[in-house]
Each structure stands twice: as C-alpha cells, then as structure tokens.
C-alpha cells in the first residue's frame, strides 16, 4: 500500500508515510482503515510524510471531495484536524498548497506545509531532528 499509518498514543499523533504514486481509491482505503481503527479519535493531529511520494493522481473536484471527507469524519459536525505535512518535493508541495488553500475555505482541517523535516517536527513540538529519530524513540500502535 502506498500509504501507511501508525498512531503514537502518548503524543496523540497520527504519523502517515506516503510513497510513490497515489490514487484517490488508495487514499480512501487507508482513510477508512484509519477511521475503523480501534485507536481512532476524530481530530487527532497528523504528521504526513510525503518525502517518498511521487504523484497524487487527482483533479480539483476529487481534492474537494477528499477535503470534505476528512472534515465530515463525524456525522455531528466538521472535525477540526491539524495536519502538518512534510513535503520536500516542489511538485508535491504545490499539490499540498492547493489542498491547504481549499482547507482555508472550510471549517475543519487546517493544513501546514513544511519543506524541511525539522520544521515539521518543531511545528508539532516534537524534540527530534528527524522523522526517523521520532519513529525510533516513540511507541506506536
């Protein structure tokens, strides 16, 4: 699967790694697996690592659909989710920026983009220099 996730319960943080080319059905499959996970909590902050991602095959309407899916995780109200994205690739950063701008128009998810790994970790107040160090020193389920 091109997207994998794990949860650090102590820090109440979802970590997701995106690799290669990703399609909307693949994203939705992982998103539904996360929502169905026994440790799922609506609105849990997220660290998305796109350092190994090459492309996301989607158009503007699909991007809006994905945004609405994230915002409507709970049937009662939009879910406020802080999403910090590490995206060192210029093309992926551009896609992330489009998603960020769409998110600003709706209540719910807030998207922060960082080109440097350390900046993404600092934004989440994680005391690590690299994502690898974060993964090696924290406990995940």
For residue 41, what pLDDT is reported? 92
Would you say 116 and 79 are in contact if contact means Cβ atoms under 8 Å apart?
no
Q: How confident is the model at residue 106 (pLDDT cuts 50, 70, 90)?
A: confident
Q: 70 vs 135, which has greater pLDDT?
A: 135
For residue 55, what pLDDT is reported? 94
Q: Is the pLDDT of residue 68 over 90?
A: no
Show the tokens assigned to 62.
Answer: 């699909």
Task: Give the closest residue to 55 by CA, choosing from 6, 5, 13, 94.
Answer: 94
Q: How confident is the model at residue 90 (pLDDT cuts 50, 70, 90)?
A: very high
For residue 1, what pLDDT is reported? 79
Domain extents in the chain: 3-137
For tokens 């998103």, name the residue. Answer: 31
For residue 47, what pLDDT is reported? 98
Q: How confident is the model at residue 91 (pLDDT cuts 50, 70, 90)?
A: very high
Average pLDDT value for the chain: 93
CATH topology of domain 3-137: Transcription Regulator spoIIAA (3.30.750)
Q: Is the pLDDT of residue 54 over 90?
A: yes
Helix (H) or strand (E) holding 129: none
Q: How confident is the model at residue 107 (pLDDT cuts 50, 70, 90)?
A: confident
């Amino acid at each position: 699967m091109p997207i994998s996730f794990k949860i650090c319960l102590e820090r109440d943080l979802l970590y997701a790694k995106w690799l290669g080319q990703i399609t909307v059905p693949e994203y939705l499959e992982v998103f539904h697996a996360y929502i169905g996970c026994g440790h799922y909590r609506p609105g849990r902050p997220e660290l998305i690592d796109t350092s190994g991602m090459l492309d996301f095959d989607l158009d503007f309407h699909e991007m809006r659909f994905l945004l609405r899916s994230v915002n409507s995780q709970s049937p009662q109200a939009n879910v406020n989710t802080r999403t910090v994205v590490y995206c060192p690739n210029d093309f992926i950063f551009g896609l992330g920026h489009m998603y960020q701008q769409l998110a600003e128009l709706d209540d719910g998810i807030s998207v922060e983009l960082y080109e440097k790994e350390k900046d993404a970790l600092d934004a989440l107040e994680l005391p690590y220099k690299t994502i690898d160090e974060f993964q090696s020193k924290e406990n995940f389920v």
